[in-house]
Amino acid sequence: MSRPRGDHDERREVIGLAAAEVIATRGLAQLTLRDLAAELGVTTGVLTHYFPSKDALVAYTKELVFDLRFVRAQQAAEGLEGIERLHAVVAEMLPVDAERRTGWRVLVAFQGSAVGSAPMRRAHDRRMRRWFALFDDLVAPLETHAAQGGMAVAFLVEGMAIHLSMMEPPMPAAWQLAFAREQVDRLVGARSPGTARRAAARPRGARRTLNTRRTTRSPDVSPTS
């Protein structure tokens, strides 16, 4: 982990990202200011200058991880039209690489803690409402009869990401993207060009080629990191 440098906000972000790595690999309970300071090569006093307590650091880290994911999801839709805007955002959210798996594992850790914490449950509710609003905006322009389509896609992606981020070894990125694309098309009652091409190429009566059971994964598909 790198030593915090830059202005006040930049240093807080460096510390928050370092805390996220600890939470994702060891769990929320194992995060301590003393150990984190040692890993960053600073004193505990330096950390408490930016975060007076572990609770303050934890609250900041949760919002930081979510905000980074949310901004990148918004950016993924830029310059695209129609359902491809929706698919781009979904693809950005999936845990297809180590960085995104870390982010989702942090959020999973916080969800567990929210069970006995009203403030954390309220924070989770605010986070989900932001996802709902984002996906509502993406689904609204589409010609679909799906009821509450934006909320449905948000729940689909959140559920997929939570479970996929915890799998060892990770599911291949290509599998995640293909599976998500097909399920999103089903939810919103629309077809993206890729889905339409796959359907046209499939003989009538043939079984779907996308198998959702890990136990039947083809031997030539290797997990990615």
Domain architecture of the chain: domains with CATH: 8-190 (1.10.357.10)
Cα(29)–Cα(50) distance, rounded to whole angstroms? 20
Q: If you average pLDDT over residues 144-160, what whole number do you get?
A: 85
One-letter identity of residue 189: G
Angle 98-156-92 from CA coordinates, rounded to 5°? 35
Judged by DSSP in three states, 86 sits in helix
What predicted TM-score, i.e. pTM, was given to this entire model?
Answer: 0.76
Q: In this model, does residue 29 exceed pLDDT 70? A: yes
Note the pLDDT of residue 147: 65
Q: In this model, does residue 165 exceed pLDDT 80? A: yes
Q: If you average pLDDT over residues 110-129, what whole number do you get?
A: 84
Residue 69, φ and ψ in degrees, nearest 5: -65, -40
Q: Which one has a higher pLDDT value, 225 or 183?
A: 183
Q: In this model, does residue 114 exceed pLDDT 90? A: no
| Token pair belonging to 52 | 């007076």
Say what percent of the chain tops pLDDT 90: 58
Cα(133)–Cα(123) distance, rounded to whole angstroms? 16
Say what percent of the chain tops pLDDT 70: 80
Judged by DSSP in three states, 134 sits in helix
Q: Which residue is it, tokens 């605010």?
A: 126
Radius of gyration of the chain (CA): 20
| Token pair belonging to 138 | 């993406």
Note the pLDDT of residue 202: 41
Mean pLDDT check: name the lowest of 29-43, 70-84, 195-209.
Answer: 195-209
Q: Which residue is it, tokens 């449905």?
A: 152
**Helix pair angle (98-114, 118-139), 10° resolution:** 130
pLDDT digits (tens, 9 = 90+) for 57-113: 988 998 999 999 999 999 999 999 999 999 999 999 999 999 999 999 998 888 877
